[in-house]
Amino acid sequence: MSKIGFIGVGIMGNPMAGHLQAGGHQLYLVRHRSPLPRELLDSGAVACDSAEAVAEQADIVITMVPDTPHVDQVLFGENGVAAGLSPGKLLIDMSSISPIETRAFASRINQLGCDYLDAPVSGGEVGARAAALTIMVGGPESAFEKAKPLFELMGKNITLVGANGAGQTCKVANQIIVALTIEAVGEALLFASRAGVDPAAVRQALMGGFAGSKILEVHGERMIKRTFDPGFRIALHQKDLNLALTGARELGLSLPNTATTQELFNACAGDLDHSALVKALEALAGHQIA
């Protein structure tokens, strides 16, 4: 059994922490933005007063918070994780944040005698609840091997991509593909609907062919059934595409379709699920998928 600090038990973090707890590990939690889940506390998780206290109690600290500034604050702010770390401990950031800042964070944690892994995830709330997340990891192989049994409680496809920052770079690439595929599925179903063909039947037919994808399966259904309650909010995907576009400028790259998809997200409400990008396409077409 490991003593694990988990900071960020929201839509994704709550089931992820639950899987670790079900695997026999002791959890130490601190509130970040949302109240601590009663089910974790009732099952033995310990509520701490600060991130520093979490780090003092735990051997491994996992952060799962929305954005780069949140990770910075949790780690290095007043009463942050860094203040409670002692040599030999492991910090795992499973948030989706800047690869550049990740390397800087890792360097600061390493100076305290601790290892750092960036391990962002893909799979959304569905994957988190099913313990079927894809986990993309950056950091030293020895730390990865130490953390791998924990990752296996939360995910299915677990890959050490490279050094610190590589996991976050991989996640940015993932988010480019996801965003552009959501846009493509939206266009395809909108085209079918406007042409007078049942989009549900079109989706079912395409599922068995080369156009089949998890996004067509899950988000295509959301578009047809108009179920846009957030599994992964548009605002978070906007943040990820901003990381992609900022990184592209620094690398001298043009990502034209990523930029266009970001503009479509900008036309939608940030609290909806990212599949609601189709609403921007519908507004341009003057037609709603039916």
Angle in degrees, CA 119, 125, 131, rounded to 5: 65
The dihedral over CA atoms of 146, 152, 153, 156, expressed in degrees to the nearest 10, equals 160
Helix or strand or coil: residue 27? strand
Contact by Cβ (8 Å): 226, 265: no
Q: At 129, which amino acid appears? A: R
| Catalytic site residue from 171, 225, 239, 279 | 171
Contact by Cβ (8 Å): 134, 154: no
Give CA–CA dist 73/33, Å, rounded: 12
Give CA–CA dist 164/105, Å, rounded: 9
Contact by Cβ (8 Å): 117, 137: yes
Strands 121-122 and 115-118: unpaired
User: 146 an active-site residue?
Assistant: no
What are the catalytic residues?
Answer: 171
